[in-house]
């Protein structure tokens, strides 16, 4: 941190000013001139919160994607299909049992098992052949998409939000002050906050697992040099299967999240595959903090874009991606 | 041995083609949005199509109708691709297409490049399709989006007492047309539109759009359909939204009113306008609803046909009646069929339909209010029936032409 400031004092200052401005925009009561030029504060604040919560969902999907790539150098293009399948499993479970939490667990386990099976049956046989792996995953994603269309049809599915989480909650952010001097606080959907919290907890758990545990150490060593790690007697194939299962399971769980505050339908698999690709390209392939930063940037860009420049909102995300590729092609937080 | 079998197979296929030859076929291509945001709409459209076939049969004189179905995703290029494929690969002679607004404009333009074929619009409702430079071989038996909103503005202003409303709609031609119809009438009565928000078709996350809805309006008009509408309602419920709502023709429709979950309950009491009303007591409508219900098991259909089912039903019916009138004669570039189609007056389940000089429907419109039937199912109940709605909405054609084509900002909120 201090080294960064010493090396790039200009950039550090710019970042500091941007952060201060953002904090002021979020916490201060907006003067009338700003409201006129920029719209109401409630809209801005909601868009920021929505961007962050959407970023949480993108992080859940992309973290598994980046983990698998980091360790196995396998660009797993079936990741979107795993997301969608997890959502469908979650839907079936929540309809059958009525339990939202159980649907997370089932989606995680079932999709993790599928991920493990894919690693054992398919990718182990073509290890190290990156182009072939990529082609195989494209093929599998098409097959999965058609199988799911066959089984679940073209209809859209939504998982019922548990009754306790329906409705808004008041947050301690002032959006406006009434003429009587009474402050108006931001109303925000509770379920999105819960989901954001879950994403943060999972993110921290993954970081701790990777940086503070023995298995995490093995995975990190594998990311750096697979062959040496294998030569030291670690059962690398088992690690591969576990990581693939974890990454797939996270995608499955994200499917349940997506089905709760958005909806599931054919085509969502591609949308989330694309989102994860953009997220990891921005954040840096193989890096968990990179996935978190990338997800946050993409989520904010989508939501702020949809409010302030609705017509071009779709382009913003890709502009950011192009910019990152041009300036820092390895991604913002890439290790190497 | 192998050779013998091959011979036998060849002989069999020769015989089969001989049988097919004896009965001449008329090939009809059908498109529906069976993928993407409007999947549910396309599926119910196909149910309406099937209901019409069940009733009328596939025979035209001594010829048999053969249908080839292609899927689209509500984008204009997907519709043109599907139509080209049907014509060039499947060799269809007649098209029953398409479902959605932008698709309609694209297919109409494509129809001009194939003047010898006949195109019967299935359900699309953008105004431009038949209003600007219409194709002589393109026939539309459903009203356009603006016609489907007739009555809503006045009802909202006079009966409900709304004075200021804001609109949220999908950013494409059909919803432009719907908002066009609403704004003309509502502002003409004296109301004000405070803001118009447009969201891309296929938007998943409406949270920021919902947050940007103004608080100081009497009601909010929703021009959404399919998955977008369900997503919106779900997130609207999560955000605790409580405003009065007005609905477009595919927002207050069985495709949304029968969606799973309870987010749709936000629509109870919502007023809307459309080319049909679920609980209309007209015997023709009731008979159609019975036919639709009898054609499919309850879990594979809606409790009552959606607007799309009705449109596909009417389009299919018109086509078959037209073909029967000319006894399936498609000679001379199908000119007899085209003349017959232009002259048909349909006694449709949702009121009488006839075509104007642009081959655009003049029909009946319904103002409705969403009610709960007491068992958790939602239906649109008739509030007002308005017969003989034409494409210029009763305006003098010269005045109407000056308003401009429906877009994000047209028409202005004033009395024309």
**Rounded Cα distance, A126 and A234, in Å:** 20
Please choose, from the candidates A137, A74, A70, A134, the residue with its C-alpha nearest in 3D space to the C-alpha of residue A285. A70
Determine the distance in angstroms separating the CA of A313 from the nearest CA of chain B, rounded to an integer: 9
pLDDT of residue B13: 52
- What are the Cα distances from residue A114, in Å, to A107, A123, A149? 11, 13, 18
Q: What confidence score (pLDDT) does residue A156 get?
A: 75
Residues of B in contact with A189 (CB under 8 A): 207, 235, 238-240
Whether A330 contacts chain B with CB within 8 A: no
Q: Which of residues 49-78 of A touch B (CB under 8 A)?
A: 50-51, 53-54
pLDDT in tens, B138-173: 999 999 999 999 999 999 999 999 999 999 999 999
pLDDT at A162: 85
Q: What is the mean pLDDT of residues B102-112?
A: 96
Measured between its terminal Cα atoms, the distance across chain B in Å is: 82
Beta carbons of B413 and B193 less than 8 angstroms apart: yes
- Indicate the pLDDT class of residue B20, thresholds 50, 70 and 90: very low
Q: In the prediction, which pLDDT does B23 show?
A: 67
CB contact under 8 Å between A311 and B198, yes or no, is: yes
Tell me what the pLDDT averaged over chain B comes to: 91
Is the pLDDT assigned to residue B7 strictly greater than 70? no
- Of the pLDDT bands very low, low, confident and very high (cuts 50, 70, 90), residue B99 is very high
- Other C-beta atoms within 10 Å of B340: how many? 18
Query: Cβ of B227 and A310 within 8 Å?
Result: no
Q: What is the pLDDT of residue B229?
A: 92
Whether residue A47 and residue B197 make contact (CB cut-off 8 A), yes or no, is no
Query: Do A310 and B198 lie within an 8 Å CB cutoff?
Result: yes
pLDDT at B5: 53
Domains and CATH numbers, chain A: 1-30 (no CATH), 31-327 (1.10.3470)
Nearest CA in chain B to A43: B212
Which residue from B200, B227, B239 is facing A265, i.e. has the nearest CB? B227
Does B24 have pLDDT greater than 80? yes
Tell me the chain B residues in contact with residue A179 when contact means C-beta distances shorter than 8 Å: none
Please tell me which of the candidates B171, B210, B234 has its beta carbon nearest to residue A158: B234
Q: Most B CBs within 10 Å: which of A57, A169, A261, as the mutation test of the B interface?
A: A261
Nearest beta carbon to residue A262 from set B36, B42, B231? B231
Q: Residue B18: pLDDT above 50?
A: no
pLDDT digits (tens, 9 = 90+) for B303-319: 999 999 999 999 999 99
> What is the rounded distance in angstroms from the CA atom of residue A261 to the CA atom of residue A165?
11
**Residues in chain A closer than 8 A to B211 (CB atoms):** 42-43, 46-47, 50, 307
Full pLDDT tens readout for chain A, 336 residues: 667 777 888 888 888 888 888 888 877 777 777 777 777 788 888 889 999 999 999 999 999 998 888 878 888 899 999 999 999 999 999 999 989 999 999 999 999 999 999 999 998 888 878 889 889 999 999 999 999 988 987 777 888 888 888 888 888 887 777 777 777 788 888 888 988 998 999 889 988 988 899 988 888 888 778 888 889 988 888 988 999 999 999 999 999 999 988 888 888 888 899 999 999 999 988 888 899 999 999 999 988 888 888 778 778 888 999 999 999 888 888 765
Residue with tokens 């194709």: B135
CA distance B371 to B369: 6
Tell me whether residues B35 and A267 touch, CB distance under 8 A: yes
> How many angstroms away from the CA of A115 is the closest CA of chain B?
27
Lowest-confidence segment of A331-335, B50-54, B202-206, B220-224 by average pLDDT: A331-335
Provide the H-helix boundaries in B65-142: 76-88, 101-113, 128-131
Contact between B274 and B253 (Cβ < 8 Å): yes
DSSP state of A192: H
d(CA B276, CA B163): 26
Choose the closest CB to A262 out of B205, B210, B240.
B205
Identify the pLDDT of residue B175: 96
DSSP element (H, E) containing B199: strand B192-199
What CA–CA distance (Å, rounded) separates B99 from A251?
34
Q: Select the residue from B212, B215, B263 to test the A interface by mutation, using most A Cβ atoms within 10 A.
A: B212
pLDDT at A158: 85
Q: A127 vs B244, which has greater pLDDT?
A: B244
Contact yes or no for A306 and B231 at CB 8 A: no
- Cβ B170 vs Cβ B126: under 8 Å: no
Measured CA to CA, the distance from residue B281 to residue B313 in angstroms comes to 19
Q: Cβ contact (<8 Å) for A167 and B230? A: no
Using a CB–CB cutoff of 8 Å, tell me whether A162 touches chain B: no
With the C-alpha atoms ordered A125, A127, A131, A134, is the resulting torsion angle positive or negative? positive
Q: Report the SS3 class of residue B150.
A: coil
Q: State whether A187 and B240 contact (CB < 8 Å).
A: yes
Instruction: State pLDDT tens for residues B221-239.
Output: 999 998 899 889 988 988 8
> Cα–Cα distance between B59 and B25 in angstroms, integer?
9
Residue in chain B lying closest to A146 (CA):
B35
| A83 token code pair | 């997301």
When scoring B208, B241, B261 by the number of chain A Cβ atoms within 10 A, the one with the most, hence best to mutate, is: B208
Confirm or reject contact between A311 and chain B (CB < 8 A). yes
Q: Which of A51, A158, A311 sits opposite B230 (nearest CB)?
A: A158
**In angstroms, rounded to a whole number, what is the distance separating the alpha carbons of residues B212 and A308?**
10
Query: Beta B345-348 vs B351-355: how paired, if at all?
Result: antiparallel
User: What is the arithmetic mean of pLDDT over B172-195?
Assistant: 95
Residue limits of CATH 3.40.50.2300 in chain B: 24-143+285-363, 147-280+364-403
User: Do residues B370 and B268 make contact, with C-beta atoms less than 8 angstroms apart?
Assistant: yes
Chain B interface includes A306 (CB < 8 A): yes
The Cα A77–Cα B163 span in angstroms is 52
Query: In the numeric block, which tokens belong to residue B390?
Result: 């034409």
C-alpha distances out from residue B8 to B2, B17, B97, Å: 10, 14, 41
User: B24-143+285-363, what's its fold?
Assistant: Rossmann fold (3.40.50)
ipTM: 0.77
The Cα–Cα gap between B322 and B208 comes to: 49
Which residue of B171, B209, B261 is in closest CB contact with A158? B261
Q: How many residues does chain B have?
A: 416
Q: How far is B91 from chain A (nearest CA, A)?
A: 27
Comparing B12 with B87, the larger pLDDT belongs to B87
Dihedral angle over CA of B43, B46, B51, B55, nearest 10: -170
8 A C-beta contact, residue A59 and residue A222 = no
Quick one: B147-280+364-403 is in which CATH superfamily?
Response regulator (3.40.50.2300)
């Amino acid at each position: 941190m201090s080294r960064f400031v010493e090396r790039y004092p200009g950039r550090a200052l710019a970042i500091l000013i941007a952060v201060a401005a953002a904090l002021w925009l979020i916490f201060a009561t907006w003067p009338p001139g700003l409201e006129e030029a920029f719209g109401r504060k409630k809209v801005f604040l909601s868009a920021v919160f929505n961007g962050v919560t959407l970023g949480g969902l993108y992080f859940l999907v992309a973290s598994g994607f980046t983990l698998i790539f980091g360790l196995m150098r396998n660009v797993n293009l079936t990741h979107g299909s795993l997301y969608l399948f997890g959502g469908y499993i979650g839907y079936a479970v929540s309809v059958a049992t009525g339990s939202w939490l159980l649907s997370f667990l089932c989606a995680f386990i079932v999709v993790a098992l599928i991920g493990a099976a894919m690693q054992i049956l398919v990718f182990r046989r073509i290890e190290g052949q990156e182009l072939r792996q990529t082609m195989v995953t494209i093929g599998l994603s098409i097959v999965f998409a058609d199988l799911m269309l066959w089984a679940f049809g073209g209809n859209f599915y939504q998982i019922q939000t548990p009754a306790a989480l329906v409705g808004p909650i008041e947050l301690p952010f002032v959006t406006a002050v009434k003429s009587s001097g009474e402050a108006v606080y931001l109303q925000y959907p509770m379920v999105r906050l819960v989901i954001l919290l879950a994403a943060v907890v999972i993110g921290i758990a993954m970081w701790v697992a990777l940086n503070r545990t023995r298995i995490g150490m093995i995975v990190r060593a594998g990311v750096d040099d697979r062959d040496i790690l294998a030569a030291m007697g670690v059962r690398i194939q088992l690690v591969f299967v576990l990581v693939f299962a974890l990454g797939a399971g996270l995608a499955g769980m994200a499917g349940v999240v997506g089905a709760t505050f958005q909806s599931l339908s054919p085509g969502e698999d591609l949308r989330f595959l694309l989102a994860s690709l953009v997220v990891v390209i921005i954040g840096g392939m193989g890096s968990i903090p990179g996935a978190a930063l990338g997800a946050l940037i993409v989520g904010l860009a989508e939501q702020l874009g949809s409010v302030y420049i609705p017509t071009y909102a779709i382009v913003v995300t890709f502009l950011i991606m192009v910019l990152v590729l041009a300036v820092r092609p390895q991604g913002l937080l890439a290790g190497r | 041995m192998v050779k013998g079998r091959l011979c036998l197979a060849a002989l069999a296929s020769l015989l089969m083609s001989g049988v097919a030859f004896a009965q001449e076929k008329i090939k009809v291509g059908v498109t529906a949005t069976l993928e993407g945001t409007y999947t549910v709409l396309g599926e119910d459209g196909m149910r309406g199509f099937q209901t019409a076939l069940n009733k009328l049969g596939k025979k035209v004189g001594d010829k048999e109708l053969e249908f080839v179905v292609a899927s689209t995703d509500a984008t204009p290029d997907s519709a043109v691709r599907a139509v080209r494929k049907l014509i060039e690969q499947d060799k269809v002679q007649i098209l029953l297409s398409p479902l959605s607004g932008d698709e309609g404009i694209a297919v109409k333009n494509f129809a001009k490049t194939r003047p010898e074929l006949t195109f019967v619009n299935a359900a699309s409702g953008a105004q431009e399709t038949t209003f600007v430079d219409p194709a002589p071989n393109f026939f539309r038996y459903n009203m356009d989006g603006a016609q489907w909103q007739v009555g809503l503005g006045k009802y909202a202003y006079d009966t409900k007492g709304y004075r200021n409303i804001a609109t949220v709609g999908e950013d494409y031609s059909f919803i432009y047309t719907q908002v066009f119809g609403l704004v003309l009438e509502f502002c003409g009565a004296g109301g004000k539109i405070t803001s118009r928000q447009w969201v891309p078709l296929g938007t998943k996350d409406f949270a920021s759009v919902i947050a940007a809805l103004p608080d100081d309006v009497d009601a909010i008009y929703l021009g959404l359909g399919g998955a977008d509408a369900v997503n919106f309602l779900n997130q609207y419920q999560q955000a605790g939204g409580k405003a009065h709502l007005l609905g477009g023709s595919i927002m207050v429709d069985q495709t949304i009113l029968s969606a799973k979950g309870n987010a749709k309950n936000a629509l109870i009491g919502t007023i809307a306008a459309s080319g049909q009303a679920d609980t209309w007591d007209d015997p023709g409508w009731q008979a159609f609803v019975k036919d639709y219900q009898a054609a499919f098991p309850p879990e594979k259909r809606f409790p009552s046909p959606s607007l799309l089912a009705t449109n596909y039903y009417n389009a299919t019916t018109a086509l078959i009646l037209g073909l029967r009138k000319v006894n399936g004669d498609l000679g001379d570039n199908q000119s007899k069929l085209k003349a017959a189609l232009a002259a048909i007056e349909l006694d449709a389940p949702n009121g009488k339909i006839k075509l104007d000089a642009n081959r655009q429907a003049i029909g009946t419109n319904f103002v409705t209010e969403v009610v709960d039937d007491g068992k958790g199912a939602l239906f649109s109940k008739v509030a007002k029936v308005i017969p003989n709605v034409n494409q210029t909405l009763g305006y003098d054609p010269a005045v109407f032409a000056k308003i401009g084509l429906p877009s994000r900002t047209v028409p202005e909120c004033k009395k024309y």
